[in-house]
């Protein structure tokens, strides 16, 4: 594979990662809007269904993003092996980078679920 093809593949994977990020933001925004505006009026089944789809989409997005980042890192390593003078950005896809991504995805998901819970079970004083 030529250097130009490798760079094209790495750029394509970077675009895929940006698309997954946009998808995540849209999913989170949609879930929070549903929770805020109609969460208190939903039946138990409806809330369970929305929560299930939300968590499932978050899990799918997490693993998709991990795969994309691993492929991007692989292509970047091949680019460096082909020509060490080509500058490539560093990706933290292993070690602390993966831990940080996992913590962030989990915290956002749990935070959204807690928000839905608080809308459905408001504190009465």
Model pTM?
0.83
State how far the Cα of 39 lies from the Cα of 59, in Å rounded to an integer.
Answer: 22
In a domain, 37, yes or no: yes
pLDDT for residue 48: 96
* Residues 35-53 pLDDT 10s: 999 999 999 999 999 999 9
Number of structural domains, the chain?
A: 1
Q: What range does the domain containing 66 cover?
A: 3-120
Alpha-carbon distance of 97 to 75, in angstroms, equals: 18
125 falls within a domain: no
Residue at 96 is within a domain: yes
pLDDT of 91 > 60? The answer is no
- Could you give the angle at the alpha carbon of 110 between the alpha carbons of 68 and 39, nearest 5°? 115
Tokens 């490798």 found at: 6
Question: Distance (Å, rounded) from C-alpha 49 to C-alpha 79?
Answer: 45
Residue written as tokens 């998808």?
Answer: 23
pLDDT computed for residue 92 by the predictor: 44
Q: Does residue 55 sit within a domain? A: yes
The tens digit of pLDDT for each residue in 47-74 reads: 999 999 999 999 999 999 888 888 888 8
Phi, psi of 24 (to 5 degrees): -60, -45
Q: Which residue has the tokens 């809308």?
A: 119
pLDDT of residue 71: 87
């Amino acid at each position: 594979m030529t250097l130009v093809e490798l760079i094209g593949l790495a750029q394509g994977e970077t675009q895929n990662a940006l698309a997954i990020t946009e998808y995540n933001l849209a999913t989170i925004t949609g879930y929070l809007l549903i929770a805020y505006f109609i969460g208190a009026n939903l039946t138990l089944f409806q809330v369970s269904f929305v929560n299930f789809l939300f968590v499932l989409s978050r899990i799918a997005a997490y693993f998709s993003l991990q795969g994309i980042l691993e492929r991007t890192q692989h292509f970047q390593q091949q680019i460096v092996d082909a020509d060490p003078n080509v500058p490539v950005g560093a990706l933290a896809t292993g070690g602390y980078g993966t831990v940080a991504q996992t913590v962030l995805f989990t915290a956002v998901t749990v935070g959204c679920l807690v928000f839905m819970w608080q809308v459905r079970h408001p504190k009465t004083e």
